[in-house]
Structure 1
């Protein structure tokens, strides 16, 4: 006779398989919303309604974030297992689920869209938790499930805020999943080298007193005289900041480290081409780096650039925080258990309809359609230690962390695993790089994205059940967590939340609006 663990596992796997039509439909709904950071109104409401219908108690707007939530379901006293959905997309990635480059109906290409895609990340995780719940009910397994809605992941928005507000403190284990996005992290789990620090910051420049620039005794009595030289304004300051940070980048970080600093302009102008200077401009920087001390060093450099740009252009400036996320923390016990479940489930496989869609993309791009158009690695397992070794080959020995994702916030509050499952990615002729729209389109096409989601849901459910039914596993994982943090939350080696700011909700984040012209895509002004 099968043992209790195997029976519960089978119930969970059967549940995922039975609910795949629903999960596929839900995923496509979120994908079609294509909402971006801090503006995921429809997506968050969709999850809240769905979770309540599934029997969860849901707190909307958790930690003061309107598009976040915290959902719980209990089946008696037992461990608390945490997981989450993400559902934000990226501006400028509006792609239809078609094998050709085109925006979704009624929108332009610069609207939001899903790239990773978070639509399938969130529903894959939810599918795993719903399957865990079904097995807990069927086999009277005690415990508590805590499922979060985490908005604005693309700017590392919500998890530092949830963590600082104490939402993760009662977790006994946390499960983090992401679709494959970077070799060798495909169908594997992170081992030692977890994601690093993510700092997001907005520099805002304002030109409040243009009339005082170069003012003299012969100044015009009309502040905006068309015959006078116009004062430099906020756009000038922002451009100076942009150029300074680009030109002096090598001076604000020691060479040898693998890190990145990207910028985006959130707003500029608020003026016409008349003699009125731009009143306000915002530029956001996002820093991905290994250590907190390195991120702080870069921020000091950016502060110097902002001060110089403001002085030069007759503006004032201020810095606003978007994110301060901590680096990750390994947990080998939970990682090993999760990978064992991935071996049981197996890597995802793609059927004839998915391959046909992929071949259509290749033909559209003028390539010869391949018999098997997908990268082999998306259907192959990668043992964690082998993935770790391959990752270390490209990093300096002194660098402890690589890339950035704010799942790392969970790592400091409970044993946490980071799971990667292969998503559809195309094989390429030598020297060829596919355009981004090709992967984005497959993310919205059910036969292409569903195998990844189904595999992730099964692995997450099996791992959650192991944490609930195997006290030895949970004890080992928690002992390792305490050893790495010097005693757990508040321990001697524990890194407290860095979040000392409120959610940046009123920044000029792009969003959808409805006007007399229909649905549009804008960067709105602040109230």
Structure 2
């Protein structure tokens, strides 16, 4: 594939804006906002996109930290790209070569792990370059750039999909940072990510007076007589019971996992009263929707039993119901051609010096070549697919999870990965998590990934805009795989039948009379 003049223009535009993209990546990294609470990050994108000439809908699909930006250059096909910008609680790390939280915070605050700060900026850098190239070269069509919060809980894309934000697009391009083989500097081929369910089980002890009744007699003195165990006990029973039953929840085939997190539990005042509210969040990752339904049925039964034993009632609230992904070889080939033109990221001597400084600070002997060799090599999508399939049963069609999969049912979609910075480990050692987090925030180490991904996104989008044959091949495959497109005989409809789960006690930054802080105070006693 020889780049067109418009594609060359776009790559030059990305290189020209490299200082801006670097600064902007650092800005989002510094916000470190977590799922459903990315207020500053979303506002930053909205302001930037409007300044660049996009029409932006804030709070798209009822999600306060989501957005949908559109730009048109006359009639023509519209290409979809997106930004993610949520961080992870408990991973606060400065852009530093040693373990230290960002200024004024503790380690329990949010921090970028994947890093979505670079993911989103690669998408923004691409759409700005595509827009400039379309304008300069008279290419008709448009761009849709969505802001996707809460990816870590598979949050926004099922909701955007059900609300129609991906309908009518000619193609969607999905990028994610990665470093592990075989999904490093390649494009997904057949085995796309699987289904994912996330839910919150809420236990409420709002009528404890009936739990300890005997022969209809009321409790005479609540502080000295039988009392309802309450919501804390319900949560703990649910937590432990579900862990002990994991081996029985699913057939022993296919990759699947269940993770849990406690959102709210108990009261700070330790009185002899039953806790009135406790919430437990689950994330289920399975190859199929049917398997996710099976696990949900078991969890529901566990919740009912825990509630009955503790004098509580229970509720299940959906956070995510995400479909499995749909392949599109024509789209994958388009992106792979762009990837071959751009090449893998390259880390210069300045980046290597930072990596060596990290190794020294960890008590290691610094390496001449500290980054993983695989980060600077491309891997053919079909070769990567063959490696991936070695550990999967033939009947398993999907593996792992990410909510981009909901996009694949609404438009031809390609999912690709560009290497993020990662270090070689001496034999018998492992790096602490903060190292990867810091590498995702230091400009010299993260910028090569952002630049590379932005160029691949821009080249792929412009190729689809300029080449009707490539665009039509992708759509023809989409129509074939879905049995006629959206609503077709083989199409899987959106599973989202719930409102955006924005009103739960999600971890966030707070402002109190004591100043701005994380919801778990950073200034711990004795610190």
Kept in 1, the 8 Å contact 2:179–2:421? The answer is no
What secondary structure sits across from 2:488 in the alignment?
coil
Contact 1:271-1:277 at 8 Å conserved across structures: no
Q: Please state how far the C-alpha of 1:347 moved relative to its aligned partner.
A: 0.4
1:300 lines up with 2:313 in the alignment: no
2:504 to 502, 507, 520: 507
Partner of 1:327 in structure 2? 324
Look up the match of 1:433: 430
1:414 to 2:407 alignment: no
The residue correspondences of 1:336-485 to structure 2 (distance < 5 A) are 336-485=333-482
Question: Tell me, what secondary structure is at the counterpart of 2:4?
Answer: helix
2:190 alignment counterpart:
192
Alpha carbons of structure 1 residues 89 and 171: separation in structure 2 relative to 1, 3 Å: same
Matched-pair contact (CA < 8 Å) for 1:84–1:148: yes
Structure 1 CA distance for aligned equivalents of residues 268 and 25 of structure 2: 41
Between 173-182 and 294-303, report the one with greater CA deviation.
173-182
Q: Within 2, Cα distance between the matches of 1:214 and 1:488?
A: 58
Q: Matched residues in 2 for 1:140 and 1:192: separation? A: 35
Number of the residue aligned with 2:151: 153
Alignment pair present for 1:109 and 2:118: no
1:87 corresponds to: 85
Deviation per CA, 1:264-292, whole angstroms, max 9, x where unpaired? 00110035221011110000100111000
Task: Give distance in 2, aligned partners of 1:210 and 1:482.
Answer: 56
Aligned length: 520
Instruction: Note the 1:33-432 alignment, pairs <5 A.
Output: 33-216=31-214, 220-222=219-221, 224-225=222-223, 227-270=224-267, 272-432=269-429
**What's the CA shift for 1:220?**
4.5
DSSP 3-state at the match of 2:17:
helix
- Provide closer, same or farther for how the CA distance between residues 160 and 181 of structure 1 changes in structure 2, counting only shifts above 3 A: farther
Using structure 2 for the length normalisation, give the TM-score: 0.97
SS for the counterpart of 1:90 is coil
- Distance in 2 (CA, whole Å) between partners of 1:182 and 1:379 is 12
Query: 1:24 and 1:315, CA in 2 relative to 1: closer, same or farther beyond 3 A?
Result: same
Contact 1:271 1:278 in 2 (8 A): no
Quote the Cα distance in structure 2 between the aligned partners of 1:432 and 1:164. Answer: 45
Q: Structure 1: which 4+ aligned runs deviate by more than 4 Å? A: 217-220
Counterpart Cα distance in 2 of 1:323 and 1:409: 11
Structure 2 gaps of 5+ residues are 522-527
| Residue 367 of structure 1: how far off its partner (Å) | 1.3
**What is the distance in 1 between the residues matched to 2:360 and 2:394?**
43
Give the Å deviation of 1:257.
1.7
Distance 1:134 1:220 in 2: 74
TM-score normalized with structure 1 length: 0.97
Deviation, 1:218, is: 6.7
- Partner Cα separation in structure 2 for residue 212 and residue 80 of structure 1: 60
Q: Deviations over 1:112-157 (max 9, x none)?
A: 0100000000000111111111110110000110000000000011
Q: Is the contact made by 1:509 and 1:523 (CA closer than 8 Å) also made in structure 2?
A: no
Q: Does the aligned pair in 2 maintain the 1:9–1:135 contact within 8 Å?
A: yes
- Cα pair 1:271 1:279 within 8 Å, conserved: no
3-state SS of 1:115 partner: coil
Distance 2:196 2:75 in 1: 36
Q: Distance in 1 between matches of 2:419 and 2:261?
A: 29
The RMSD of aligned alpha carbons is: 1.4
Greater Cα shift, 362-371 or 140-149: 362-371
1:159 and 1:328 map into 2 onto residues whose CA distance is 12
